[in-house]
């Protein structure tokens, strides 16, 4: 068997905005098995780090898995330099516990920024099961809105919110959720996926109304098996491992402040990687 036979081909690449890219990866086994809420871990080559990404969509007939990523560090910068026809060395999954979808009649799904790529498959799975879905998508401005048409197609009501009012309604996701909860509080569940601070605020908004709230956590991950311990989060005062016990958790029990602190450990290095240009190649360096 040649080396190329065990690698994963990029079937399609699409720029969603200046910092977010969509790719369809040929991975038939994962495409057949993946469920909403699960994720993969990719590695570009033998020098690359292991990076987790939630599965945005699958096409079992084509054997492809859709990933959507924000260009924030070295690995995502290198991934964004690849094009359709190129290959990834590793593409492992599906990992994590699927989002709980049973026994629900009406759900509010809230996505923030690139988190909408994770909220979309949850909304789609719920909608396809006959659940009434109200979806709230929040972005800073019109120029970074992604997946609007796709999200509109998998919910009963779609609310687009932008901080500056350049698209949809002006305001935050919490603003719209507050309005919906005050108008008719009959949700079985609120699903919040996005920046950690947004999820924390969504949880705080839902709490006075007594509506259960699920969040999808994205702590630092490495091996995807729970052995390295890097994905640890505190939930209900206990240490949990997001890669094998999550990524979904009860939002009321998550220690968001601790998670924010841990996830900020590498921000300085990520900024350095974005700004660094190799004098020899003009591109991103591996190390």
pLDDT in tens, the chain (287 residues): 344 456 899 999 999 999 999 999 999 999 999 999 899 999 998 888 888 888 999 999 999 999 999 988 888 999 999 999 999 999 998 998 888 888 999 999 999 999 999 899 999 999 999 999 999 999 999 999 999 999 999 999 999 999 999 999 999 999 999 999 999 778 999 999 999 999 999 999 999 999 999 998 876 666 666 667 677 888 889 988 877 777 889 899 998 888 888 776 555 554 545 454 555 455 555 44
Cis peptide before 52 (omega within 30 of 0): no
- In the chain, residues under CATH classification 3.40.50.80 are 106-263
Helices first, then strands: H and E counts in the chain: 9, 16
Characterize the bridge pairing of strands 64-70 and 51-59.
Answer: antiparallel
Cα–Cα dist 79/172, whole Å: 31
Among the four given CATH numbers 2.40.30.10, 3.30.1490.20, 3.40.630.30, 3.30.565.10, the one describing domain 3-95: 2.40.30.10
Cα–Cα dist 161/182, whole Å: 18
What radius of gyration do the chain's Cα atoms show? 19
Dihedral, CA atoms, 148, 135, 52, 217, nearest 10 degrees? 150
pTM of the model: 0.84
Q: Which helix (H) or strand (E) holds 119?
A: helix 116-128
Cα–Cα dist 94/223, whole Å: 13
Please state the separation of Cα 113 from the chain's center in Å. 9
Among the four given CATH numbers 3.40.50.80, 3.40.1380.20, 3.40.50.300, 3.30.200.20, the one describing domain 106-263: 3.40.50.80
- In the chain, residues under CATH classification 2.40.30.10 are 3-95
């Amino acid at each position: 068997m040649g080396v190329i036979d065990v690698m994963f081909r990029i079937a399609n690449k699409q720029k969603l905005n200046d910092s977010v890219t969509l790719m369809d990866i040929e991975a038939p086994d994962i495409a057949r098995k993946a469920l909403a809420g699960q994720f993969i871990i990719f590695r570009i080559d033998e020098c690359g780090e292991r990076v987790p990404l939630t599965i945005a969509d699958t096409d079992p007939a084509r054997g492809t898995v859709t990933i959507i990523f924000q260009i924030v560090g070295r690995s995502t910068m290198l991934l964004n330099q690849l094009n359709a026809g190129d290959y990834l060395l590793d593409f492992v999954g599906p990992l994590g516990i699927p989002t709980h979808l049973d026994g629900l009649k009406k759900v509010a799904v809230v996505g923030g920024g690139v988190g909408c790529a994770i909220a979309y498959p949850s909304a789609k799975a719920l909608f396809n099961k006959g659940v009434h879905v109200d979806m709230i998508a929040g972005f800073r401005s019109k120029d970074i809105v992604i997946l609007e048409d796709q999200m509109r197609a998998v919910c009963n009501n779609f609310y687009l919110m932008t901080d500056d009012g350049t698209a949809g309604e002006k305001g935050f996701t919490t603003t719209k959720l507050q309005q919906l909860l005050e108008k008719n509080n009959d949700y079985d569940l609120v699903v919040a996926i996005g920046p950690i601070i947004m999820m924390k605020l969504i949880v705080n908004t839902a709490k006075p109304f007594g509506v259960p709230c699920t969040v999808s956590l994205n702590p630092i991950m490495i091996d995807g098996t729970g052995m390295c311990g890097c994905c640890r989060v505190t939930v209900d005062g206990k240490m949990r491992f997001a890669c094998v016990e999550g990524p979904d958790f009860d939002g009321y029990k998550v220690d968001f402040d601790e998670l924010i602190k841990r996830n900020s450990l590498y921000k300085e290095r990520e900024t350095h990687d974005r700004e660094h240009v190799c004098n020899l190649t003009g591109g991103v360096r591996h190390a």
